[in-house]
Amino acid sequence: MATWSAPGKVFLFGEHAVVFGKPGIAMAIKPRVYVTVRKARNPARVNSPYIESCFEEMGVTGSVYIHSQLPSSSGLGSSAAVTVATLFAINDEFNLKYDRNQLASMAYKIEKKVQHGRASPTDTYVSTFGGLVLIKDNKRRRMPPENFNIVIGNTLVSHKTTELVAMVSEFRKNNPLVVDPILDAIEAVTTRSMHNFHNLKVLGRYMDVNHALLEALGVGHPMLSRLVSASRAAGAYGAKMTGAGGGGCMIALCPKRSKSKVAGAIEAADGRAIITTIDTEGARKE
Ligand code: PMV
């Protein structure tokens, strides 16, 4: 029997713009998915195309038990975390000897297959390697970790990343003169943020700007605005939607002392709050 876990992720800066080759910053977060795999001739039926594909890809059969701390379909990368943890657990239980890089690309391949061609390699990368990740020129690499105090607000409004990405792409195709400067501004905010990781006030301000730019791209939602405003009023340095938008989650960068107050404000505004910070470990044996 082998149990492995893998973390979820948030985008700190640059979502949507990364689709057009701009830089982005993502971070692994503490809520994790735990997967236990055991060799079995007759596998128990699982209700997840991700897990089925993991066994298929590895060419083995087994039983599986999942425990997730991550809400699904909210843009926190839960499908990537399930896929990554399952692949690592199968690899261990069956002694298949794939390395971390091979398992990361396998996880991306599976996400792509299950999501019919459109998946973000960022989710599987962050979940596999953990920490703070810079996406640049369509490549990903780890940066030195930072201990940001983050409160996540889940709007509980479901969204479809594929549809939002397609919508932005259509908007850009028809209005390049309007949309390209917005993407350039997101790039500038992302790049400047890297020079201000230790200046949380400035970083918070950049999050506010990034949020406004994402709204200008058309991926806002009234519940996101509500949770973002509530967080700022409760003392956050700044707040923005995270991921595809149109619902899903927002993040607030907080002074340590106001984490609970911000979380309370999110709950009072009908969101679900998760107080979290960076998870520097990626996939991990339990
Ligand atoms: O919904 P999420 O958190 O998987 O966010 C997708 C982020 C986008 O930049 C919109 C798409 C992508 O592939 O990076």
Domain that holds residue 258: 150-276
Q: Could you tell me the CATH number of the domain that includes residue 120?
A: 3.30.230.10
Regarding whether 155 and 140 lie in a shared domain, the answer is no
CA 15 / ligand 1 centre spacing (Å): 6
Single-letter amino acid code for the residue at 46: V
Does 178 reside within a domain? yes
Ligand 1 surroundings by CB, under 6 angstroms: 11, 15-16, 18-19, 75, 120, 122-123, 161, 165, 243-244, 248
What's the average model confidence in pLDDT over 40-44?
Answer: 78
Regarding whether 134 and 155 lie in a shared domain, the answer is no
Regarding whether 33 and 132 lie in a shared domain, the answer is yes
CA 35 / ligand 1 centre spacing (Å): 24
Q: Which of 136, 140, 158, 161 to mutate to test the pocket of ligand 1 (most atoms within 8 A of CB)?
A: 161
Is the pLDDT assigned to residue 45 strictly greater than 80? Answer: no
pTM value? 0.95
Q: Which of 116, 120, 171 to mutate to test the pocket of ligand 1 (most atoms within 8 A of CB)?
A: 120
> In this structure, which residue's CA is closest to atom 14 in ligand 1?
120
Distance in angstroms between the alpha carbons of the first and the last residue of the chain = 11
pLDDT grade for 12, boundaries at 50, 70 and 90: very high
Regarding whether 158 and 126 lie in a shared domain, the answer is no
| Domain end residue (candidates: 98, 113, 144) | 144
Residue 123 falls in the annotated catalytic set: yes
Task: Please tell me the predicted confidence (pLDDT) of residue 73.
Answer: 82
Is the pLDDT assigned to residue 118 strictly greater than 80? Answer: no
- Ligand 1 atom with the smallest distance to the CA of 135 is 14
Regarding whether 6 and 136 lie in a shared domain, the answer is yes
Residue 103 and residue 84 in contact, taking contact as beta carbons nearer than 8 Å: yes
Name the domain count of the chain: 2
Give the integer Cα–Cα distance in Å for 92 and 88: 6
Residue 69 and residue 32 in contact, taking contact as beta carbons nearer than 8 Å: yes
Regarding whether 254 and 155 lie in a shared domain, the answer is yes
Q: Which of 11, 126, 186 to mutate to test the pocket of ligand 1 (most atoms within 8 A of CB)?
A: 11
Catalytic position from the list 92, 123, 137, 270: 123
Residue 271 and residue 155 in contact, taking contact as beta carbons nearer than 8 Å: yes
Angle at which helices 100-114 and 49-58 cross, to 10°: 130
Regarding whether 218 and 130 lie in a shared domain, the answer is no
Q: Which two tokens stand for residue 73?
A: 């379909």
Regarding whether 193 and 233 lie in a shared domain, the answer is yes
What's the average model confidence in pLDDT over 122-146?
Answer: 95
What values do phi and psi take at 147, rounded to 5?
-90, 65
| Domain end residue (candidates: 94, 114, 144) | 144
Tens-digit pLDDT profile for residues 158-200? 999 999 999 999 999 999 999 999 999 999 999 999 999 999 9
Task: Tokens 């996406």: give the residue.
Answer: 135
Does 102 reside within a domain? yes
Task: Please tell me the predicted confidence (pLDDT) of residue 112.
Answer: 94
Q: What single DSSP character describes residue 278?
A: B
Helix ranges, 22-137 (H): 49-58, 78-93, 100-114, 121-129
What values do phi and psi take at 16, rounded to 5?
70, -50
Regarding whether 260 and 200 lie in a shared domain, the answer is yes
| Domain end residue (candidates: 126, 144, 162) | 144
Q: With the C-alpha atoms ordered 52, 54, 57, 62, is the resulting torsion angle positive or negative?
A: negative
